[in-house]
Chain A
Amino acid sequence: MRPFKTLQKLYDEESQVVITEKGSPPRALFYGEGFLQEDLPVGTRVIFPRSPMAGVPNVKAAIRWAINHPEGMDPLHALLKPGMRLTCVIDDISVPLPPMVTPDVRQSILEVVLELAADSGVDDVHLVIANALHRRMTEAEMRRMVGPKIFDAYYPDRYYNHDAEDPDGIVALERTAHGEEVSVNRRVAESDLIIYVNVNFVPMNGGHKSMGTGVSNYKSLRHHHNPKTIRDSDSYMEPKTSALYRSNERIGRNIDKHLKVFHIETTLNNRMFGAPVDFLAKKEEDYTEADRLKFQAMRYTLSKLPRAAARKVLNAIPAPYDVTGVYAGATEPTHAKTLETSWKQYSVPVEGQSDIVIFPIPFISPYSVNSILNPLLVQVMGLGYFFNLNRGVPLVKKGGVLILLHPAYDEFDPEHHPSYIEFFHRLLPETRDSMKLEHKYEKEFAENPSYVHLYRKNNAYHGVHPFYMWYWGENGRQHVGKVIVAGAENNHVPALLGWDRTDTLTEAIEEARGFMGRSATISLLRIAPTVMVDVK
C-alpha cells in the first residue's frame, strides 16, 4: 500500500488532469454492470470530472425567483389568466442519469407552478411528458417523477405520455425556411400557454430541442435525426458546432412564432454518487483505506451476482444531485444562461488531442433506464455521447483509436427495445453504412405496425429508434480509425459493430499502439460523473 504522502506528490490536487506515473494507483473503471481495476501505462493522461458545484440553498425559492424574473418574457404570474388552457411539458426519464433522489427537480417546479396556476384561476391544466419517440414512462416512473400528490390529482387523464403516433394527436405547423416539417402534440398546440419543465443534464438538452424534439413526431424528427446532420455536427454538446442544434433551432423558432412557450430550465451539479458509493467520484489518489475496501467489496460482489441482479442493485441507487441553477423565460436567453452554468460544471480544459482514448462504459444510458445496455446502446455511449463530450474538438485525433470497456454482451430487452433486436441481427449483418440503412430500411421500421403498437400501447422505443442510435455514432465512426472493445465476452457483437475485441485493457492498449505507433499518446476519460473536455 502506497503511503498517502507519496501519492500526494504525484498530482496536483486542484487539477482535473492527472498524468500517470510509476507510483500512480490503479484506476477504478466502469465496465458495464461491473468494475475493472487497471494500472495504466506511464504517461497516460487521466481526465477527471470537476467536483460538484454548490447547489442553490433553496430549490423552490430559486424556482420562484426565476419565474418572477424571467428572461425576455413577462413573469409567469402575469401570463396566467383565469380559464386559460395551460400545458406543462416535462422532460422524460432519459435525464438525469441515474434518476435523481426524490423529490425530483421536476416535482419541485410543478409544485410551484401548479399552485400558482390554481391561485390564478387556471383549471384546465395538462401535464405531458416530452418522450418524443422514447418509450412511454411507466406508471411507477411517472409517480416517482412528480410525487404522489400531483400524480394522484392528474394521472391518467391529465398527466400522460406524448404519443407521436396518435393520428389525431399531432398538429402540423408552418414548415421552416429549409422545408423542415414542424409537428407538435395537439394539446400543446391548442394551449394558450405552455410551460416547459426541463432538466438540463448535458448541454445538448434544453433550448429549442425541448419543444422541437420532445413533443414532435417522426415526420418532423427525420429532418435532423439523420446521418447527414450528424456528420455535419462536430459536437452535439456545443450549439455552435452542431447541425443538429441548428435544425432544432429553426424548428423551435417556428414553434415560438406560433405558440407561447415559457421555459423553466434547471442545471444539476456532478454529485452523481451518494453515500454508499461516493468514492466513485474521487480520484484514486484521494481514496481512503475505507474507500479502497468499499470499492473492492463492490467490485467483488457485482462480479459474483447474475447480471440482472447487478443491474437491479445499480439501478436502485439514485443520484443525490443538487440543483445549481434555475432559469426561466423565452427559449434562447434562458438557454444561454443554462449553458453557461452547465459548462461551468462540466468543462475541463485539456492540452491537445490523443492518439488513443479510453472510455469506460457504465451500466446506464439515456435509453436504458431500468433496462439493459444492449450492443447498440454501448455503441451510442462510446461513439455517440462520450466521443461528443467536447466543444467541437474531440479528445481523440482523426484516425485515432477508441478503446471501450464493456462486456459487449448480446442482450436486449424485448419490452423496451424490440426493434433494436431486428436492427442488430437482421440489418447490421447486411450493412453498417448509415446512409444505406436510412435509405433502405428506416421508413419500414418507422411504420411497422407491430413496433408502432408496442410504442403506443406498451413501453417500447419507437421502431425507428435503433436507427437514431446508429446515426448518433456516425460522427465518431467517421472520425476514428479503429474501435477496440476491451473485455468483450464474445466475438460476434464487436464484429457486427465493426470493432476489434480483446480480453483485457492491456491487450487493447497494445493493439492500439500497434495501430498508432509505439509513441502514441493515451487519454482516459474518467466517466462518470459527467465531464466534457475543452481541447486547446
Chain B
Amino acid sequence: MPSKAAFFDVDGTLVKTNVVHVYAYYAMNRGSVLGIAGRTLSTALSIPLFGAMDTLDRKTFNEFFYRYYAGLSEDRLITIAEDMFEDVLQPALFEQSQDLIDQARRSGCKVVLVTGALDFTMRPLARHLGADDMIANKMQFVGGKATGKVIPPIIEGANKANAIRAYCTKEGLTLDKCHGYSDSASDYAMLAVVGRPTAVNPDLRLRSIARAYNWPILDLK
C-alpha cells in the first residue's frame, strides 16, 4: 500500500496539447458534414479568444470553454474520446513522459493525473500511461446529454491543491512525501502543496519560481 503519490498535470507536462485541441477534435467529429463545418469554423474563430482567456484566467477559460460541449451525448463523447486519444493525445505525448511515470511507480508512488480537462477525455490516456487514478473535471449530464456545465469545484489553479489535499486525506497518503509535476505557474498551488515539487517543461514564471525554491527542473520534450 503506497504512502505517497506522484501527481502529474497533463497539458504541457506530459502531452503537448491542451483542452482546445481536444475540443477541436470533438467539433471535427460531430455528426453531419454541416455540423462539422460549422463547429470547425466556430472553433477556429474562437481559438484566439481561448488563447487570450487562458492567459488571463484559467478558471474563466475552462468554464467558458466547456459550454461548447452542451448537447453532446455521453456515449458519443466516450466513443470519440478513444479515437481522440489515438489521433491527438498519443502522438502528442512527450518522449520521456512514460519513463518519468514508470520511475515514479518504481519509487513506490501511486500515479495520479491531475487535469483541468474532462475525465472522459483523459481516461484512455490514463490507461495508456498506467496511471492509478485521476483528478479531473466532470461534465454534468442530464438525460444522457452534456449540459455544458462542470460539476463544481472546477479543477484548476488553487483548486488543484485542494483536490490533492483531499485526495491524500481520503487515500491515507502523506502529503509531505508526495511529488507534484507541472509545467505552468498557474499550477503553483498544486506544486506548493506537495512535499516534493518538480517543474516540468516550465514556462518562464514557473522556471524562475523553481530556481528560487530550488525545485528540480525537468525537460521531457
Contact = CB atoms under 8 A, between A and B. Distances in A.
Contacts of A450: 179, 181, 196, 198, 216, 218
Interface stretch (A113-121, A399-407, A453-461): A453-461
A339 interface: no
A449 B6 CA distance: 9
Interface in A18-39: none
A452 B216 contact: no
A410 to B, nearest CB: 11
Given A448-B196, A449-B103, A414 B211 contact: yes
Contacts of B87: none
Given A447-B108, A448-B196, A453 B214 contact: no
B86 interface: no
Nearest to B179: A449
A447 B107 contact: yes
Given A167-B106, A448-B196, A452-B107, A421 B214 contact: yes
A422 interface: yes
Contact of B216 (A425, A444, A454): A454
B100 interface: yes
B209 interface: no
Chain A CB count within 10 A is highest, among B99, B216, B217, B219, for B216
Interface string A411-440: 000100011011001000000000000000
A451 interface: yes
B96 interface: yes
Interface residues of B, number: 22
Contact of B104 (A165, A425, A449): A449
Given A414-B211, A447-B106, A448-B107, A453 B218 contact: yes
Contacts of A454: 216, 218
Nearest to B108: A447
A449 B107 contact: yes
B211 A453 contact: no
Dominant SS among interface residues on chain B: mixed
Interface string B207-221: 000010010111100
Nearest to A167: B106
Chain A CB count within 10 A is highest, among B96, B100, B211, B218, for B218
B216 A457 contact: no
B96 A452 contact: no
A165 B100 CA distance: 12
Contacts of A421: 214
A422 B210 CA distance: 12
Given A414-B217, A449-B6, A451-B216, A457 B96 contact: yes
Interface in B180-199: 181, 196, 198
B81 interface: no
A451 B109 CA distance: 14
Contacts of B102: 167
Contacts of B218: 450, 453-454, 458
Given A450-B196, A453-B96, A425 B179 contact: no
Interface in B99-125: 99-100, 102-104, 106-109
Nearest to B6: A449
A422 to B, nearest CB: 6
A454 B103 CA distance: 11
Contacts of A457: 96, 99
Contacts of B107: 447-449, 452
A448 B194 CA distance: 14
Interface in A443-496: 444, 447-454, 456-458
A196 B219 CA distance: 33
B142 to A, nearest CB: 41
A422 B214 contact: yes
Contacts of B181: 450
Contacts of A167: 102, 106
Interface string A325-342: 000000000000000000
B106 to A, nearest CB: 7
Contacts of A418: 216-217
Contacts of B103: 165, 449, 452-453, 456
A421 B96 CA distance: 24
Contacts of B108: 447
B100 to A, nearest CB: 5
A421 B198 CA distance: 14
B220 to A, nearest CB: 8
A349 B25 CA distance: 78
A425 B212 CA distance: 12
A450 B202 CA distance: 14
A516 to B, nearest CB: 38
Nearest to A447: B107
Nearest to A420: B214
Contact of B100 (A419, A425, A453): A453
Contact of A449 (B109, B214, B217, B219): B109
Nearest to A451: B216
A454 B181 CA distance: 14
Nearest to B216: A450
Interface string A188-200: 0000000000000
Contacts of B196: 448, 450
Contacts of B96: 453, 457
Nearest to A444: B177
Nearest to A457: B96
Nearest to A425: B214
Nearest to B100: A453
B84 to A, nearest CB: 28
Chain B CB count within 10 A is highest, among A414, A447, A449, A450, for A449
Contacts of A453: 96, 99-100, 103, 218
A450 B100 CA distance: 8
A296 to B, nearest CB: 38
A458 B218 CA distance: 9
Q: Which 5 A-B pairs have the closest CB atoms?
A: A447-B107, A449-B103, A450-B216, A449-B104, A450-B198
15 contacts: A167-B106, A418-B217, A421-B214, A422-B214, A425-B214, A449-B100, A449-B104, A449-B109, A449-B179, A450-B198, A451-B216, A452-B107, A453-B103, A456-B99, A458-B218
Given A447-B107, A449-B109, A450-B179, 5 more contacts: A418-B216, A449-B107, A450-B216, A453-B103, A457-B99
